[in-house]
Amino acid sequence: MPSESGSGLRIDDTARPLSPLISILNRISFLAGKVYEVKNMAKPTVAHKHHVLVKPGGQIPATAPRLARDGGPYTQRGTTPNFNIFFENALGANGPVLADAVLANCEQDLAALQNVFGNIAIPNLPFNVYVVTGDFGAYHATCAATELHCAAFDGSNRDLVRMLMVAEADEVCMAAQGVGWNCGFSNGEALSRILATEAYPAQLDGFASASAWLNSNRDDFVNQNDPTDTNYISIGCAALFINYLRNQTGLQFALGQIVQNGGQTLTQTYQNVTGNNDDPFPAFADLLNTKFPAGTAANWPDDNPFPI
Rounded to the nearest 10 degrees, the angle between the axes of helix 232-247 and helix 266-274 is 10
pLDDT of residue 71: 82
Predicted model pTM: 0.82
Q: Which of 205, 177, 206, 202 is nearest to 269 (CA)?
A: 177
Between strands 138-140 and 127-132, the pairing is unpaired
Q: Which of 162, 17, 156, 18 is nearest to 148 (CA)?
A: 162
pLDDT of residue 256: 98
Q: Nearest-5° angle of CA 48, CA 194, CA 137? A: 45
Identify the band that residue 68 occupies on the pLDDT scale cut at 50, 70 and 90.
confident
Identify the band that residue 207 occupies on the pLDDT scale cut at 50, 70 and 90.
confident
| CB 239 within 8 Å of CB 195 | no
| CB 273 within 8 Å of CB 245 | yes
For residue 2, how many other CB atoms are within 10 A of its CB? 17
| Minimum mean pLDDT range among 1-5, 118-122, 183-187, 255-259 | 1-5
pLDDT of residue 39: 24
pLDDT over 90 at 193, yes or no: yes
pLDDT of residue 62: 66
Better-predicted residue by pLDDT, 207 or 261: 261
249 three-state secondary structure: coil
- For 51-61, write each residue's pLDDT tens digit: 655 556 666 56
Query: What is the mean predicted confidence (pLDDT) over 202-210?
Result: 89
Rounded to an integer, what distance in angstroms lies between the CA atom of residue 84 and that of residue 125?
10
| CB 50 within 8 Å of CB 66 | yes
Q: Nearest 10 degrees: CA dihedral of 98, 163, 111, 264?
A: -150
Query: Domain 3-178 - what CATH class?
Result: alpha beta
As a whole number, the mean pLDDT across the chain is 84
Q: Where are the domains of the chain?
A: 3-178, 201-291
pLDDT of residue 61: 64
Better-predicted residue by pLDDT, 115 or 62: 115
pLDDT over 50 at 163, yes or no: yes
pLDDT of residue 249: 97
Q: Which of 304, 286, 170, 283 is nearest to 229 (CA)?
A: 170
Q: What phi-psi label fits residue 271: left (phi over 0), alpha (psi between -120 and 50 degrees) or beta? A: alpha
Identify the band that residue 205 occupies on the pLDDT scale cut at 50, 70 and 90.
confident
